[in-house]
Structure 1
């Protein structure tokens, strides 16, 4: 995990301007509907793998006491600016021990796909169990093998062009190996370097959402528009986890898990999956179907 964290250091500034705000705004709605009704007012929430802190800021704005934990020092530097009243800790999601118990632990943006295998996942689940109060909630999302095999084919899936920088994310997955990567290409214009007329035209054309495919096609050919720009590439390895195995590991580590697509319905190969888990109380009582309660 230290290796993954150092790679996030290299593009924390970009994540803070682009994906961090976007993911935070996208996820707070479902979390508010599905998770927060089961957290006491003013309760304690751990944002595990918190990134640049936009989700932590949204939770804090809703009057929860928020702690964020991440392995990247640069990500946390931005997080402290974005949510100055929250507590942030640098640490490993597999091995952490925080003194204050939490009512809920959230781990979003498919962060657990960075875990290499069952042993790493089990370590995360064990640490989360220790961090939760009895009956506490653990919610996380993952990209799963069927979905990754369908969509991760080595073509840019996200990206944008700005006057001084551009970026693209390219995911790829090998089903036979059960692992893949998402590559982040970052292009920055040097001080004093002029933008070509073609580059300026491309920026204007591709800002519109209907032209997303054109934007991604241009980003897949960086030599066309970014010749001479500073180029950095960050390769983040990920693993596809069998969902039945993940459920079994959760049960072994003291959780009663429920599994859904991120759209709210049954899991399919078109979307990521998320787990809604409740820590089983010491009495051994089994929780009810929380997702059914929410959707009823």
Structure 2
């Protein structure tokens, strides 16, 4: 479902920001970790630009898609909170608010500490996260996507008191052997909203001494996906 709905959506919108904050700073040939790489959509762009890429994701199903598309890339199934990678990276990239899926500050700090351990001296860590403005927009409104085999409904919810967000997905999938039969599925994806100050503090406590934050729309990302989203660029000592 993730692959079908969102795989092609993020990168075109984010490209201006990634050009400014990542691609312009990391030369081709650099060793890059695509953290929470999913089905490999951003990984494919990194490979095309000449980077030596390793992709990490917790989902075996998404990694299947990635390996089918990019059989020569080293994809590893790992939890971002417990990174275990042998050789250091020149840069780590983590996109599409993947780190909002860390539901506690301790989990987020574990990711940051693991990334810091995985970077070479003066290595660059770039990632984006949604802040409260993003989660507060268009609440409880259903977005509908239709194709020949699927009808999908998506809506978001946000609880300010707990800073918890959720995306509810309901989809109807046509059975390939019986065009009159549709099967219903439901899924809820949870995220956590962190204040920008908490994110910066967690980065510094994890060993990143230089931290830059940029609103996604100010970095050139289109407003539909960029509103309320921030990019963070961090380096160690």
Counterpart of 2:196 (choices 236, 243, 251) is: 243
Q: Deviations over 1:172-231 (max 9, x none)?
A: 10001110211122211123324xxxxxxxxxxxxxxxxxxxxxxxxxxxxxxxxx6211
The separation in 1 between residues aligned to 2:69 and 2:33, in whole angstroms, is: 16
The separation in 2 between residues aligned to 1:161 and 1:140, in whole angstroms, is: 31
SS at match of 2:56: strand
Output the TM-score relative to the length of structure 1.
Answer: 0.73
The separation in 1 between residues aligned to 2:218 and 2:22, in whole angstroms, is: 13
Structure 2: runs of 5+ lacking an equivalent: none
Structure 1: runs of 5+ lacking an equivalent: 1-10, 195-227, 281-296
Partner of 2:229: 272
The separation in 2 between residues aligned to 1:125 and 1:171, in whole angstroms, is: 27
Partner of 2:162: 177
The separation in 1 between residues aligned to 2:102 and 2:211, in whole angstroms, is: 19
Q: Tell me if the contact between 1:144 and 1:243 (Cα under 8 Å) persists in the aligned partners.
A: yes
Superposition deviation, residue 140 in structure 1:
0.8
User: Is 1:131 matched with 2:118?
Assistant: yes
Superposition deviation, residue 81 in structure 1:
1.3
Between Structure 1 and Structure 2, the one with more helix by share is: 1
The separation in 2 between residues aligned to 1:153 and 1:37, in whole angstroms, is: 35
The separation in 2 between residues aligned to 1:160 and 1:147, in whole angstroms, is: 21
Output the TM-score relative to the length of structure 2.
Answer: 0.90
The separation in 2 between residues aligned to 1:87 and 1:107, in whole angstroms, is: 16
Partner of 1:259: 213
Q: Tell me if the contact between 1:142 and 1:274 (Cα under 8 Å) persists in the aligned partners.
A: yes
Query: Map of 1:114-263 to 2, 5 A cutoff?
Result: 114-149=101-136, 151-157=137-143, 159-190=144-175, 191-194=177-180, 229-255=182-208, 256-263=210-217
Q: Deviations over 1:248-267 (max 9, x none)?
A: 110111112111111126xx
Query: Map of 1:44-83 to 2, 5 A cutoff?
Result: 44-83=31-70
Query: Map of 1:84-123 to 2, 5 A cutoff?
Result: 84-123=71-110
SS at match of 1:35: helix
Partner of 1:225: none
Question: Would you say how many aligned residue pairs link Structure 1 and Structure 2?
Answer: 231
